[in-house]
Amino acid sequence: MSETNKELARRWIEELWNEQRLELVDELHAEDYVRHHDSDGGAGREHYKAHISNVVKLLPDGHCEIEHMVAEGDTVVMRITVTGTHEGAYGDVEPTGRPIEFQAFELLRFVDGQIQESWHSYDRLSLLEQMGAAKGIQFADAVRKTSA
């Protein structure tokens, strides 16, 4: 079961996201699919198709590279690197034409060979920084020099 789900997860990344084949949403996702996300989660295949369309507008040449994949039972977790060119608005951030690269995590839960639920998390601060929208933010790993 885990190996089958890993293959479906690879198709999800390679064919749905990298090849932008939105017709695969109906094949790969359960009819009552639920997407958990901090800013625009939702339910149903049509919601997910709209989400993908928005991401494609943001990064029309976007590409996802699977860096790690782990599967157990009905669950697959992936760490991916996303690259592309910032060609669409991201909230209030207008397109910059800059190259973008950030890390994301995907957790997919499968039922009967389809994605029933997904959880998505990504490095939003890095994304905003690359878009020039994180000026003035003090990063946690920054070292502050003090006089002795």
What SS3 class is residue 17? helix
The answer to whether residue 140 scores a pLDDT higher than 70 is no
**DSSP secondary structure letters along 73-137:** TTEEEEEEEEEEE--S-BTTB-----EEEEEEEEEEEEETTEEEEEEEEE-HHHHHHHTT--TTP
Type and span of the H or E element at 42: strand 42-43
Q: What is the CATH code of the structural domain delimited by 2-130? A: 3.10.450.50
In the 8-state DSSP scheme, what is residue 15?
I
Q: Which pLDDT value is given to residue 139?
A: 60
Q: Which pLDDT value is given to residue 131?
A: 93
Residue 22's φ and ψ, nearest 5 degrees, are -60, -25
**Domain coordinates in residue numbering, the chain:** 2-130
- The pTM for the full model equals 0.85
The answer to whether residue 41 scores a pLDDT higher than 90 is no
Q: Encode pLDDT of 71-118 as tens digits.
A: 999 999 999 999 999 999 998 899 999 999 999 999 999 999 999 999
Write out the two tokens for 145: 């020099």
Q: Encode pLDDT of 124-135 as tens digits.
A: 989 999 999 887
Integer CA distances (angstroms), 3 to 6, 17, 135, in order: 5, 20, 43
Q: Encode pLDDT of 45-79 as tens digits.
A: 998 898 899 999 999 999 999 999 999 999 999 99
Q: Encode pLDDT of 9-20 as tens digits.
A: 999 999 999 999
26-30, 39-43, 126-130 — most confident range: 26-30
